[in-house]
Structure 1
Amino acid sequence: MLSAETTARAEGDAPRTIRLHADDNVAIVVNAFGLPAGTVFPDGLTLREFVPQGHKVALADIPEGGHVRRYGEVVGIALRFIPEGSWVEESCVETPIAPALDALEKATRVPAALPPLDGYTFEGFRNPDGSVGTKNILAISTSVQCVTGTLDVAVKRIREELLPRFPNVDDVIGLTHAYGCGVAINAPEAGIPIRTLQSLARNPNFGGEVMVVGLGCEKLVSERLVPAGKGAAEDSVVRLQDERHEGFGSMIESIMAMAEARLAVLDQRRRETCPASELVVGLQCGGSDAFSGVTANPSLGFAADLLVRCGATVLFSEVTEVRDAIHLLTPRAATPEVADALIREMAWYDAYLEKGGADRRANPSPGNKKGGLNNIVEKALGSVAKSGTSAIAGVLSPGERVREKGLIFAATPASDFVCGTLQLASGITVQVFSTGRGTPYGLAQAPVIKVATRTELSQRWSDLIDLDAGRIATGQSTIEEMGWELFHLILDVASGRKRPWSDRWGLYNDLTLFNPAPIT
């Protein structure tokens, strides 16, 4: 939380820093474009050198081998003496060792349930299975990459020739990917991409109208993507190699005929008033900077707490951006079993990275570092702020569908595109995405609300950013106020009353499967 001292300084162009915890011996520079050497702060701190915006300045002398503290946690080990007023940049800090997984507290500090929030609703599409969508989309699954080009042609024609006849359907999209053949289909970890594709087809925004386009000779047979209970799989699958097809035109006509039947069903869907408890909201960050854990992510965390109080489901993710803060999360697990599941996912990913000759330190991007994040420890501590303060009610392995209400950890890689794909598979119907450096990321399958960590980014990307959390850093808003604003925006977007910029522009990223299994 921002201190009263920080808020008092947040007027005009006076030099400003943010110190997050009383134990911190560094603070970040708030002023846009940084501050020059010789800058004197109201408390007497004097900069010895230029410090860019978002980067850390030493508040006291830090000896060689001493701890660099931010968030009240050790975020680095000083590789050399760092005098007070110096820029604490990447080259002078070593990454600390990750918390040991065999010595973590489990469900020892379970947060008490916050008072319920009643009466909040949104206008959603209720499905036969009881789930509620925020969009009305015909999604066409594919069992192999080979059919992608054909489906692209079919989707273009469906949009032009069929969709105008079904005005209540938002769009038709292909769930295309680079999987399905040339892979070790029976390898143990092949379950992850297969489960992801199976779960994607059942996202609530698709209304339960599953259809699959396959080739016919692939390892991932099309029938495996048709949910149980959907009747004969043959009624939901178009195989391009079937002998009934006489040329390319016949293939396209078959896809269009199956799509038309499903569009007729989806066109009957109407928005209806649903309790906020039916929402499934995914939280993600990308293009992070040092403000992510100060402004945007705490706002997401506050909104997450409000959603949980409404009885909704909230997913946070990104294993490598949780790993170094896992000691803060396992005590919050609702039960020891949930804590064990968190540890299981951390251990699996540790082994996965080790097998690839990498570790968690490979995570920060050059842009993250330019934005003031020295290493993955600092990044993780800011990332977990998205989780708010609620008890962690459950854990999902990659590609699993969500089962519980409340705050859920959905294990995913930190890659924006892979994380987004896996959260869609888990069942999110809205995503909130925080960014400090900026990204035009978007999903066709669910609306994405983009939250900026800095006002400068929000102003420069005014037609890409939906909410400016940078107002917290300048003292114009509080985390609580921003959290409530985001909460109401989520309800408006879920209801179709407001469209995020990614939907207005049609800015959508491809689905990207997580496949840790061998490719043959």
Structure 2
Amino acid sequence: MPAMNDIIKPAANAAVQAIRLHKDDDVVIARNQLVGGTVLECEGVRVSGLIPAGHKVAARHIEQGQAVKRYGQIIGFASRAIQPGEHVHTHNLAMGDFSRDYAFCADAKATVPAQQTASFDGIVRHDGRVATRNYIGILTSVNCSATVARAIADRFRRDVFPEALAAYPNVDGVVALTHGVGCAVDPDGEALAMLQRTLGGYAAHPNFAGVLVIGLGCETNQISRLMETQGLIEADFLRTFNIQETGGTAKTIEHGVKLVHGMLAEADKARRQPVPARHLVVGLQCGGSDGYSGISANPALGAAVDLLVQHGGTAILSETPEIYGAEHLLTRRAVNREVGEKLVNRIRWWESYCERNNAAMNNNPSAGNKAGGLTTVLEKSLGGIAKAGNTNLVEVYEYAQHVSAKGLVFMDTPGYDPISATGQVAGGANLICFTTGRGSAYGCAPAPSLKIATNNALWDRQQEDMDLNCGTILTGEASIAEKGAELFQLMLDTASGKRSRSEQHGYGQNEFVPWQIGAIT
């Protein structure tokens, strides 16, 4: 069974109108919009009807009920007979059950370290942790303290009060990360434990030079219990307090502002210095995916991940519902059977989770994904795991667990990007790489987020939000390896302090979305 990046080889000739990804595929991908009567010379078929750019064209006759392949893998089953040249999409392609050969560890191979170690200019904390940014963070134990937290952070907004941080040029900002839960849940249940794990991960994140944790006072998620479960100790740069104890809203805001002022001078002493790339922990995301995602941006990110791992760094693949049906390609790369079985167990948990909530794993792709050419979750998953490159899978983590392993790891998260990335950052990601084909406006404080376009049309339309264009892979102007190397360097530059587009626009606070799971009573 070929590795994903080995089979993705778009034709270098831009005049070729459709892209074949694997010799066994039943479909090819329209490079541009195709009109009826167009002859795809490389396939020997005539197009029937209008086929949008990024969508699938049948390369051969497909019988009703027959498995349909893309990437050399099953993406669904023909719901009716399909003729060569026909558009293959939701009207004639459907989900179906089929067995997957997990073949644990069959494709695992030794990682060859890079001959020359890459580095970036990071911030080394007193305990040896390495940061890519230098923020003061304000966290809330419960939704009831969100307004107060935001009011404190607003007093330090450079766009409103430029003088507030004028004396502290090495501080990236003061951010409030609020959420909508924290009460009316089982105090001993999974939902609260997950929220506490998420908040604990952010409180200890190296990109925060100092943190305030603010509560109301009577919530289920008591700060004292949060501190205990997460092994946190109050100190000069980790302060906690409640609105009820402080004396109300106005007094709490002033108290918080005073505490932030007390942290700024020390935080501003942070200086960047060269550190090995092994200190980079990158969360991998894709959102607003299209038919090109698995051809251009995702495999380019995968090539960058392979380089990162060779240099000793860590990449976190996530979005469990969006590897569904392709998980067997990851279990084959597991370093041992235990790691592979951990991944399968998370898939089984999701199947059970969906069943008890009367949902289906194939509620993916979204409407936008389908408009961009993706038909089933199987197809989306196969393109999505291209972000993981060809390296071994070394560990599997639950949501927001601290990531300590080096190499490619998997974290169990939903497919919804803000929730998924929140878990990755809680686990220690100090950079996010986010591919998109339909377009995205996203940031993830305190970790910078790079957005990578899959196609030239998106780049031209929404360039102010994009950090890198991989559409040149589709036109033959660049190879996957070349774009991967360019992206790896962009990772290093961004980790060194270069501001991403989302940072320039002020994204990052509203995108903090912990996973809400379990009953609210």
Q: TM-score range by the shorter chain?
A: over 0.9
Show the 5 A alignment for 1:433-452: 433-452=434-453
Candidates 171, 187, 190, aligned match of 1:188: 190
Candidates 108, 111, 124, aligned match of 2:109: 111
Structure 2 gap ranges (5+):
none
Q: Corresponding residue for 1:80?
A: 80
In structure 2, C-alpha distance between the alignment counterparts of 1:200 and 1:125, rounded to whole Å: 17
In structure 2, C-alpha distance between the alignment counterparts of 1:517 and 1:98, rounded to whole Å: 31
| Deviation digits for residues 213-236 of structure 1 (CA, Å, limit 9, x no counterpart) | 111111111124445363469972
Cα distance change, pair 52–252 in 1 and its aligned pair in 2 (3 A) = same
Q: Corresponding residue for 2:334?
A: 333
Percent identity over paired residues: 40
Cα distance change, pair 199–235 in 1 and its aligned pair in 2 (3 A) = closer
**Aligned AA (1:188):** E
| Deviation digits for residues 397-448 of structure 1 (CA, Å, limit 9, x no counterpart) | 0010111111110111000110111111011111110000001111232111
Q: Corresponding residue for 1:133?
A: 131
The size of the alignment, in residue pairs, is: 509
| Deviation digits for residues 122-178 of structure 1 (CA, Å, limit 9, x no counterpart) | 011111232211110001111111011112111112343642332211100112111
**Aligned AA (1:55):** H
In structure 1, C-alpha distance between the alignment counterparts of 2:296 and 2:311, rounded to whole Å: 23
Structure 1 gap ranges (5+):
none
Q: Which moved more, 1:435-444 or 1:308-317?
A: 435-444
Q: Corresponding residue for 1:493?
A: 494
**Aligned AA (1:398):** Y
Q: Corresponding residue for 1:379?
A: 380
Q: Corresponding residue for 1:37?
A: 36
Q: Corresponding residue for 1:174?
A: 176
In structure 1, C-alpha distance between the alignment counterparts of 2:415 and 2:238, rounded to whole Å: 37
* Preserved CA contact (<8 Å) 2:10 2:473: no
In structure 2, C-alpha distance between the alignment counterparts of 1:5 and 1:126, rounded to whole Å: 40
Q: Corresponding residue for 1:409?
A: 410
**Aligned AA (2:65):** G
| Deviation digits for residues 44-94 of structure 1 (CA, Å, limit 9, x no counterpart) | 321111111011111111111122110001111111111111111211012
Q: Corresponding residue for 2:95?
A: 95
TM-score between the two structures when normalised by the length of structure 2:
0.94
| Deviation digits for residues 496-518 of structure 1 (CA, Å, limit 9, x no counterpart) | 1x322111111334311112121
Q: Corresponding residue for 2:239?
A: 236
In structure 1, C-alpha distance between the alignment counterparts of 2:287 and 2:234, rounded to whole Å: 40
In structure 1, C-alpha distance between the alignment counterparts of 2:298 and 2:472, rounded to whole Å: 13
Q: Corresponding residue for 1:284?
A: 285
**Aligned AA (1:382):** G
**Aligned AA (2:56):** K
SS at match of 1:283: strand
**Aligned AA (1:36):** V
* Preserved CA contact (<8 Å) 1:98 1:324: no
TM-score between the two structures when normalised by the length of structure 1:
0.94
In structure 2, C-alpha distance between the alignment counterparts of 1:492 and 1:396, rounded to whole Å: 28
Candidates 8, 13, 20, aligned match of 1:9: 13
| Deviation digits for residues 17-62 of structure 1 (CA, Å, limit 9, x no counterpart) | 111101001001001xx11001112333211111110111111111
SS at match of 2:77: strand
Q: Corresponding residue for 1:202?
A: 204
Query: Once the 2 structures are TM-superposed, how far is the Cα of residue 352 of structure 1 from its aligned partner?
Result: 1.2
| Deviation digits for residues 168-202 of structure 1 (CA, Å, limit 9, x no counterpart) | 11100112111111222222343212211111211
* Preserved CA contact (<8 Å) 1:74 1:96: no
Query: Once the 2 structures are TM-superposed, how far is the Cα of residue 337 of structure 1 from its aligned partner?
Result: 1.4
In structure 2, C-alpha distance between the alignment counterparts of 1:338 and 1:330, rounded to whole Å: 8
CA RMSD of aligned residues (A): 2.0
Q: Corresponding residue for 1:259?
A: 260
Q: Corresponding residue for 1:165?
A: 167
* Preserved CA contact (<8 Å) 2:63 2:80: yes
In structure 2, C-alpha distance between the alignment counterparts of 1:213 and 1:127, rounded to whole Å: 24
In structure 1, C-alpha distance between the alignment counterparts of 2:183 and 2:290, rounded to whole Å: 39
Give the number of the structure whose residues are more often helix, by fraction: 1
In structure 1, C-alpha distance between the alignment counterparts of 2:289 and 2:223, rounded to whole Å: 38
